[in-house]
Structure 1
Amino acid sequence: MKNIILVFFSLLSINIIAQEINISKSLKGFDKYMSDVLTDWNEPGAGVAIIHNGELVFVKGYGYRDYGNKLPVTKNTLFQIASNTKLFTTIAAGMLVEKGILNWDKPITESVPELQFYNDFLNSNVTLRDMLGHKTGISRHDMIWFQSDFSRKELFERIKYLEPSIPLRQDFIYNNLMYTAVGYSIELRTGKTWEEYVKENIFTPLEMNNTVFSIAEMQKSSDHGIPYNEIRDTTLLYKIPLKEDGAGVGPAGAIITSLDDLSHWVIALMKDGKYKNKEIIPASIINETLKPGIAFRNSELEEKGYKEKLNSTYGMAREIEVYKGNVLTKHGGAMPGFHSQVIILPYDDIGIITFSIGDHGASLGNTIIAYNLVDRLLGLKQTDWNGRLLADHLKRKEMGKKARAQVGFDNVKGTSPTHNINDYLGTYVKEVYGEFIIGKENDSLYFNFRRTILPLQHYHYNRFDTPNDEILGKWSINFSVSPQGEISTAVISIDEGQVTFNKKTDESLSSPEILNLYTGTYEYAGSEFEIKIKDNKLTMLGTTDEVLIPYKKHIFKVEKFDDMQIEFTEKNNKISGMKYKAPSGIFECKKIK
């Protein structure tokens, strides 16, 4: 009985706290605070919304949505919310769980057999909860999708190439491609695209009428954000291009919305899925997103002695933490030039949305403003988040400038490329990442990867570097020479490690018609073996099959042994035999049928 009474009074006290929040009193001096932090961070613009008792009780823009034209941020200004999209995808998947189409905790391949992972263990064990909780052990590999033209289906099919970095469920590794795969799984099981399903089941019933999925749709509005960043090592602001990076990877970060529209979503999350007294989202789905999956270290406490944020865990598209003794849920979002944060204090009936423009001020949107509002609304002593993070930002800025001044530290002077410049030209391919081109203009090489086109300068030996571009970054490419003395591969550091791209041969050499010319039975010193097309590749069958890679007309390389080649011989316009060329000699075989 005593415990019941304690629980009752605890719940009563929570309700009283929620009712006693005075928004006007809590936000006294907040406008001045916003003016100061925007100035401190040289931030073009920001927006704030507060939800309480099921209503949008405060919404205001600060600064400019378009710095160049001095257009103000409003409650209807469209912002890319990036990874705050992920909870929409999680809820959409949860709706299919409710219908028995998907399952949180059974292997997802049981519901979506089209999805294949790197190995049989993952195929038999990875669940929907693992994918949405970033527990698969598979690293991000963001350069697979970033600025690529890969469709969602093509990204989905590339999951099978991603080798885990750590064992399943051992630790938290953020992965946008897992959300892409879940989004495409929704399409496979419903016949509707992820966009169609989310719009029909979430946007429309929540009256999120101005929310869209693409830059093209966003630009149709007269009220949308324009991203500006600081020119590196200065305080000058410049307009950066809007990038349509959300098409294929949309379920991880494509949604573009306003403070007003997004408040409808937050209201539903806070009201057990109800909006205007109508259930839009089953409460059971919302509860599933809050179940702890992976626990985080108290790194701020351990590294800096900060005690405000403790015992954070990640559920599905939501982080749950204890802030100064109060439970809150949160998730941030970041796209070039846009940053967002959504915080909900479920036991205090408070929701907070913050938007900001400018990558240099990312901390403003995802931490400083949001946590200052939490302090104010809960009547807590205000932590100087601005002072802490601004000091770190200025230090990093100075250290970055110092680091860039030391570029070229490992340059070996007086070296030359091994080959003529024309020998480096061509298309280089890695199946999971796609292709890049090495071209030539005015006797100099250039690098062309998706929307990144930069000149290449010889660094040393067979290494060529691009300039360190303000937007496109710096790329270093190291070319390799085959045993036959030709430029054959290019190695680039991408994502989590070095990636080797192979120089592409004439595609016609891989056509089924051409490959079929070489199939048949061959004989060497009384022993017979077959060459067939297997998995669309010419293959020499044996105890261990040898895949043959097209190289030149009638010439193939052995996939496992770069120093070995197969050259087919021709007589009377027909393949009559083959020569197996190895460092130890040339072994001639006759085609017998």
Structure 2
Amino acid sequence: MAFGVAARAQAPDVSKKLEGFDAYMEQTLKDWNTPGVGVGIVVNDKLVFAKGYGYRDYEKKLPFTPKTLEPIASNSKLFTAVVAGMLVEEGKLTWDKPVRESVPTIQFYNDQLNNNVTLRDMLSHRTGVTRHDLIWFKSPFTRKELFEKLKYLEPQEPMRETFLYNNLMFSAVGQIIELKSGKTWEQFVRERIFGPLEMNTTTYTIADMLKQPDYGVPFREKRDSFELYKIPYYEDTEGVAPAGAIISNIDELSHWLIALMNDGKYNGKQVLPASVLKATIQPAIGLPNTLGEALGYWELLNPAYGMGRQTASYRGKLLTYHGGDLPGFHSQVSFLPNDKIGVIVFVISDHSAPLYNVISYNVYERLLGMDQTPWNQRRLQQRLAGKKAGTEARAKAGADRVPNTKPSHALAGYAAEYENPAYGILKIGLQGDQLQFGFHDFHFPMSHFHYDRFDTPDDEQYGKFSVSFRTNPQGDVNDAVISLDEAEVVFTRKAPTLDAKLLEKLAGTYMTPTKVKFEVQYQPGAGLSLVFPGAPPQKLIPIKGLQFRTPQFADSIYEFVVENGQVKALKERDPSGEFTYTRQ
């Protein structure tokens, strides 16, 4: 079913070139089991076509219309790049000088990044730091907290050599915009873009979206069947809002597309700086020809990423585009700069995400009078093959399980909070005789797999988390290891918080059996350190009770001896024995 009429009167030639498109869309939705799709077409400086197909709410059978709001996810990135460019125009930032020259508070993993990373690097995904999405996804972290986590993200590749998509860098640019403008990213974008472009219902939060009469409802398809089911809205977007929080509709997003296609002008007014738009489209890093090399599809050639958008040659035509993906909602905004044709596609349901490319390419081919590439058949074949392979793979899960093993500790020995400086807290609880998994807003029971490995159930939407616990040399459970994003992440058992008065009491002068005096120093906020004459301080990390260790050696324990409220000594134990250092 098609809903909505052209938002503007269609030019006769556009109408003629789109003959058969409605039937194509009806068949596409049927082929893909897609709840709903919205399509908008801009030619020159007008929205000439806007129509919804299927449903914005599949359960209630409410029609998808040009006014249906949905999250545009990473299509927010170009908004962020453009407002950053406005600050470049004002002299508050620069594209190509180290960003720390403008923002001294930003810290990356090492001096090489600190001394070299530019705003363009951050906006073009070429810092060498990979995406680490599970730092922010379903997390409670604020934008400021995410900004401060950049220093923990070790680069995987050298700078400016490899395209590594990174939402956290866009979040950081949003924080930079606030630092340099005195306004939040949300305020700045609303004042400088939404207002002038008359994007009056465009917003940032699901709560605000739900106050409007016409909005999309997210659905997914079951993994092992074709049943559609409703999923919760993804709402934890505040921290990474500059990477993906904007919510809009076909009608209002067309105002943005018109400005992009016309050197920043909308309704005769210069809204976006033309020089900034030119900077964002300039290629910053090349991408591989994945479609051609892997699948033999050479229509899209030589893609490159600028800032907040990509460019490529599509069948000999310059194309600029970006996609957006959050649970249940997918979108693409694209245009052909030299042909003055632009397309917006909204899609509901995760399994149908490839349709935003399929439909966009089909529209361009129709309007340009080209033969239609069989993108629908190609992608549908891939989708069904992938679905079948996934079902077969899940049926074989657990084949590597070693039978008849037991955990090395009683379950209470695993229950604790484990911490990673970048990813935050992993909370392992104990309820009855079952461990409980708590990470960000993920909460699942855990089952013993083998030895010290415990798994969560295989969730329909998010899959399975597998946690392997590791012991320290003293035999205590100390680490939890999970495969997250692109690598294993180690969470270390969180050290107990000791009372400052107790730490002050433990500080003092001690003497070795060889009569060498040394200090245990206490520094508020930093804790205790060992300071031997002529040597740098060694931090003491609390383990349990009055036991500590240094960062260098896990098998060496320092334990304070307290008798009748008085500190008597410090004992050092390692595999070779125990030494006692008396308090002076």
- Same fold? TM cut 0.5: yes
Matches within 5 A, 1:37-186: 37-186=28-177
Map Cα deviations across residues 313-355 of structure 1 (whole Å, 9 max, x no partner): 1111111111111101000000001000111111111111000
Matches within 5 A, 1:280-429: 280-365=271-356, 367-429=357-419
* 1:203 partner amino acid: F
What is aligned with 2:6? none
Q: Secondary structure at the match of 1:563?
A: coil
The alpha-carbon deviation at position 281 of structure 1 amounts to 1.1
What is aligned with 2:483? 493
What is aligned with 1:578? 570
Verify the 8 A CA contact 2:558 2:571 in the aligned structure 1.
Answer: yes
* 1:581 partner amino acid: R
- In 1, the alpha carbon distance for the partners of 2:253 and 2:244 equals 14
- In 2, the alpha carbon distance for the partners of 1:123 and 1:537 equals 28
Give the counterpart of 2:505 among 499, 508, 517: 517
The alpha-carbon deviation at position 216 of structure 1 amounts to 1.1
Q: TM-score, normalised by structure 2?
A: 0.95
Verify the 8 A CA contact 1:521 1:530 in the aligned structure 2.
Answer: yes
Verify the 8 A CA contact 1:452 1:472 in the aligned structure 2.
Answer: no
1:253 is aligned to 2:244 = yes
1:204 is aligned to 2:198 = no
Deviation larger for 466-475 or 92-101: 466-475
What is aligned with 1:527? 516
- In 2, the alpha carbon distance for the partners of 1:245 and 1:411 equals 35
What is aligned with 1:467? 457
Deviation larger for 535-544 or 469-478: 535-544
The alpha-carbon deviation at position 544 of structure 1 amounts to 4.4
Verify the 8 A CA contact 1:512 1:536 in the aligned structure 2.
Answer: no
Map Cα deviations across residues 47-89 of structure 1 (whole Å, 9 max, x no partner): 0001112111110000000000000111111111000000000
What is aligned with 1:589? 581
The alpha-carbon deviation at position 306 of structure 1 amounts to 2.0
Report sequence identity in percent: 51
Verify the 8 A CA contact 2:11 2:48 in the aligned structure 1.
Answer: no
What is aligned with 1:5? none
The alpha-carbon deviation at position 405 of structure 1 amounts to 0.8
* 2:521 partner amino acid: K
Q: Secondary structure at the match of 2:128?
A: coil
Verify the 8 A CA contact 1:227 1:358 in the aligned structure 2.
Answer: yes
Give the counterpart of 1:546 among 515, 530, 538: 538
- In 2, the alpha carbon distance for the partners of 1:409 and 1:546 equals 45
- In 2, the alpha carbon distance for the partners of 1:173 and 1:270 equals 27
* 1:467 partner amino acid: P
The alpha-carbon deviation at position 451 of structure 1 amounts to 1.9
The alpha-carbon deviation at position 233 of structure 1 amounts to 1.1
What is aligned with 2:234? 243
The alpha-carbon deviation at position 409 of structure 1 amounts to 1.6
What is aligned with 1:556? 548
Map Cα deviations across residues 21-42 of structure 1 (whole Å, 9 max, x no partner): 9210111000000000000000
Q: TM-score, normalised by structure 1?
A: 0.94
What is aligned with 2:560? 568
Q: Secondary structure at the match of 1:521?
A: strand
Q: How many residues align?
A: 571
Q: Secondary structure at the match of 2:555?
A: strand
Map Cα deviations across residues 260-310 of structure 1 (whole Å, 9 max, x no partner): 110111111111111111111110000000111111222222223222111
- In 1, the alpha carbon distance for the partners of 2:455 and 2:477 equals 17
Verify the 8 A CA contact 1:345 1:351 in the aligned structure 2.
Answer: yes
